[in-house]
Structure 1
Amino acid sequence: MIRVENTVLILLAAGRSRRFGDIGSKLDQEFLGRPLGLHVAVALESMPFQERLAIVNGSALDYRPHGFTVIHNDDPGDGMSRSVRLGVARAREQGAQAVLIALADMPRVTAAHIHRMFEAVDGPGAVVASSDGVEPKPPALFGRDCFDYLMTLTGERGAAEMVRRGRHVVTTPAELIDVDTAEELEQLRALVHDPAAHTIIHAGAHRSG
């Protein structure tokens, strides 16, 4: 049986934020009173992972106070797969039975959902992904028998086919929102009544008056 205690959490936080605009890292943007990229780290703090890895590049965020080992992806242009390979290599060194891969730009993921994913694990070859009821999405859990395959990934191709064939744990679409653009961040702020969204709306109304 794969448990949280023998699973390594790999938080991917090394994206280039190219679709977000010229603002540095989108993960540094404030959302509900804290940086966007810290929400998942905080949400999963109570889960006793064997180790927590933050794969980073270019963000000012410090994941170490949240229990993470920080690994720098010095070539994010090689795509998300390089970050995955860095994390899986470390997990293998630690003798982990599984990895849970999460994205730092998905700020609404909850520990309750991750616990449900572990309940769906059926062995060392397990592949368990999240789903909004339409398609599989991160976070995704991979048993140790998948490590060799994950280490072969290149570019942005990812493990899409493996994930499609795996088990899917459905949760609300709002929990699996990922933020790629400034517009999507504003929509999310409005959805959860983030005061920052109202500030921006009022400022716009004032200028138009």
Structure 2
Amino acid sequence: MIPAERVVLILLAAGRSERFGARDKLTEDFLGKPLAFHVVTALEAVPFRERIVVQNGTMMDFAARGYRVIHNERPEIGMSNSVKLGVASARAGGAEAVLIALADMPRVTATHVYRLLDGADGPDAVVASSDGTKPCPPALFGAGRFDALLGLEGDEGARAMIAGGKHVVAAAHELLDIDRPEDLERLRALA
């Protein structure tokens, strides 16, 4: 187990949302508040060492919610650039691990995040979420994996690392990733 107080939360919010259309999906209303603030609210009681959001272009005020904002000036490079920016900052701050979460996954719970933390067994830990079929974020990476994260390229993120890590299963509805307008409609129907 790696205690939350030694882990930096990196919230990725710099995607270009190409599959969603012209609107900023992070600001879309879900149950009376912006989509991105659901994961922020769910994790606000987890005592992370620090909270970082990597963003580009969204009008969301993550700083007011306790996040240090890092701007990804080159989102076209892919998710790997956001991961690198967040991990480099977390490493500089002495983090023992990072928990990478996506701002467009509004149903993630603190309970699930604590299960990820409990599954970490040291500096080389890779503990990812899974719906029982495929691994996905949020995912925890021990400091021994920071070099590999900093070497990522493209839009795959840490997909290969996650596939080879430990997996903590959550209900599929907790791991919904909102990529298209129809995903948001399906989420609203569940609520």
TM-score band by shorter chain is over 0.9
1:56 aligns with 2:55: yes
1:57-105 superposed Cα distances (whole Å, 9 cap, x missing partner): 1111001121100000001001000000000000010010000000000
How big is the alpha-carbon RMSD for the aligned residues of Structure 1 and Structure 2?
0.8
1:18 aligns with 2:21: no
Secondary structure in structure 2 of the residue aligned to 1:186: helix
Q: CA deviation at 1:187?
A: 1.1
Give the ranges of 4+ consecutive aligned residues of structure 1 lying more than 2 Å apart after TM superposition. none
C-alpha separation in 1, matches of 2:91 and 2:138 = 19
1:84 aligns with 2:80: no
State the match for 2:178 in structure 1.
Answer: 179
State the match for 2:74 in structure 1.
Answer: 75
C-alpha separation in 1, matches of 2:97 and 2:154 = 22
- Gaps of at least 5 residues in structure 1 are 193-209
Secondary structure in structure 2 of the residue aligned to 1:59: coil
Question: Is the contact between residue 2 and residue 118 of structure 2 (CA under 8 Å) also seen in structure 1?
Answer: no
Q: CA deviation at 1:21?
A: 1.0
Normalising to structure 1: TM-score of the pair?
A: 0.90
State the match for 1:43 in structure 2.
Answer: 42
State the match for 1:203 in structure 2.
Answer: none
State the match for 2:65 in structure 1.
Answer: 66
Identity, % of aligned positions: 58
> Whose radius of gyration is greater, 1 or 2?
1
Matches within 5 A, 1:88-127: 88-127=87-126
C-alpha separation in 2, matches of 1:58 and 1:175 = 26
- Gaps of at least 5 residues in structure 2 are none
The number of residues matched between the two structures is: 191
Q: Letter of the aligned partner of 1:137 in structure 2?
A: C
